[in-house]
Structure formats: C-alpha cells, structure tokens
Amino acid sequence: MIGPTAGALALLLALGAGAAGAEDVKAGPWRPLFDGKTLNGWTPKVAKHPAGENYRDTFVVDHGTIRVSYAKYDRLDGQFGHLFYKTPFKAYRLKLTYRFLTEGGLADTPAWARSNSGIMFLSQSPESMTVEQPFPVSVEFQLLGKDGDAPRPTGAVCTPGITITMGGTKVKEHCTPPANAPTIPNGTWVTAELEVLPNGEITQKINGVAVHHYAGAALDPDDTVAGGAKPYILARGAQPVTEGYIALQSEGHPIEFKDIEIQELR
C-alpha cells in the first residue's frame, strides 16, 4: 500500500485543524442565489465593456441553468467575463453543479483557457473593475474539464490580485493544482462546494471530497495577473480580504451552472 503524498498529507492535517476551528460556527438556512429562470440579482462584467452590459448575451438562462454562451461571438478577443451576484458575503458555504459543454470554445481562445472556468469569491465589485480589466481581484476556485489525454484535475486555487497561505506558508504560484482531484470529461455534471469560515479558513470540495484548504487571503501589491487592478490594490495596501462578491466566470469555453445555493455562517 502506498502512503499519501506530501501534498495530500498536508491537506489532511489542515482539514483536521479546520474542523476544530469550525466547531463553534453557526449556520443559517440554505437559500438559492439563482431562481432557475432569470438572471435577476446577477451583474455581468465582460472585459472591454462596462459593468452591467451582457455583451452578446454571454450569460443566458436555459432549462434551469446559467449558460456561458458564445453563440453570438465571432472571436473571443480577450473578452473574459464574470457574472457577479448582487451582494458581498463574509462567511458561508456555497454549492453548485457545473458541466463544460462538449462543443469547443472560440478559435482564438488561448490554449490554457480551453475547458476552463471558475468560481471567483472574496472579489472586488464589478463596478470597481476597470473597463479593460480581464479578471477581478479575487480568489478563484478553478474549474477544469478534460483537454487532451493528459491528466487535468479540476479544483485548483488561483489568486488574481490576492495572496493566500497553505500550512502557514505564503503561496507564490498564481494557480495551485489539487493533489487529489479527478480529471472529468466535458459533458459531466460536477458538484463544487466552497466553505469560507469566519476565521478565514477556506476549503474547496469536488463531488464531496476536499481538494484544497488554505487561509490568509490578502491583497497582493505585486500582482501582475489582474490587469488594470493595480490602482485598486495600491489604494488599499496588503490588507486582509475578509469579504467580497461571488462570480461565475466566462473564459472562452461554454459551461453551465445550476443549483446554486448558499448557507451563511457566523
């Protein structure tokens, strides 16, 4: 029998510590963020366009899902987008179901963005983003589908404009892959769960299995990923991020989201 990898062992230890820290957390009722029929309560922000403009119907509702659609696009042209829920949250559990559609993205979608999307959280507001800004200052629960024959596990954590710590150590990489997540073919429904505790500890789960645990979210004045966000970050400094918006990402490949629910914690 082969023992756990160092990364998996660190995750197990961190989850044990997180469970101890969650003992006194009080949870409210689960409630939907998406009514299954409209985009009421959600604000689109697509790069090169102002907040509130649903450029070429990037986000549509279809059969109870929010779909990222490129049916009216000729090319992506760097127009990455995000659909923000109307209010910020501090501590909560979020769960949703997603699937990448089997048809591919646009021809000029970058290779890294194929079958790639995400759940952005602890995010700046859509109105505070610059018109050209491709990604909000946020933490990203990255969602990946299969692309080619190589393993491509879903559930990484990425950090445009923000730093995090794992095991007490500041993470230097922009994206940190999970140690124990599966590679999931496009067309398959997947359950993603996110827990943000009042003490700042964060856990990501794929199909009920924890794939990441980290803490210490703070603004990163040295960031170069959230283009155009430098003034926003420098105006605030390297302060902790304890509250923010939730957004669904459009990154060049069609994807659907449904059953989006939240349970606030205190």
Residue 18: its pLDDT value, please?
Answer: 52
Residue 105: its pLDDT value, please?
Answer: 81
DSSP 153-185: -S--EE-TTEEEEETTEE--SSEE--SSPPP--
Residue 23: its pLDDT value, please?
Answer: 63
Strand-pair category, 255-265 with 27-32 = antiparallel
- Tokens 């398959």, residue located: 188
Residue 114 has which token pair?
């194929």
Beta strands in 19-138 (DSSP E): 27-32, 42-46, 59-62, 65-68, 81-85, 92-100, 116-123
Lowest mean pLDDT across 104-108, 189-193, 240-244: 104-108
Angle at 121 between CA 206 and CA 162, to 5 degrees: 110
Asked if pLDDT for residue 15 goes beyond 90, the answer is: no
Residue 241: its pLDDT value, please?
Answer: 98
pLDDT tens by residue, 112-160: 999 999 999 999 999 999 999 999 999 999 999 999 999 999 999 999 9
Compute φ and ψ for 128, nearest 5 degrees: -85, -5
* Cα 126 to Cα 189: distance, rounded to the nearest angstrom: 28
Helix or strand holding residue 2 (H, E): none
Helix or strand holding residue 231 (H, E): helix 230-234
* Cα 117 to Cα 154: distance, rounded to the nearest angstrom: 10
CATH topology of domain 6-265: Jelly Rolls (2.60.120)
- Domain ranges across the chain: 6-265
For the full predicted model, state whether its pTM sits above 0.85: yes
pLDDT tens by residue, 198-256: 999 999 999 999 999 999 999 999 998 888 999 999 999 999 999 999 999 999 999 99
Average pLDDT, integer, range 172-178: 95
Residue 163: its pLDDT value, please?
Answer: 97
Burial class (CB in 10 A: 0-12, 13-18, 19+), 95: middle
* Cα 184 to Cα 100: distance, rounded to the nearest angstrom: 9
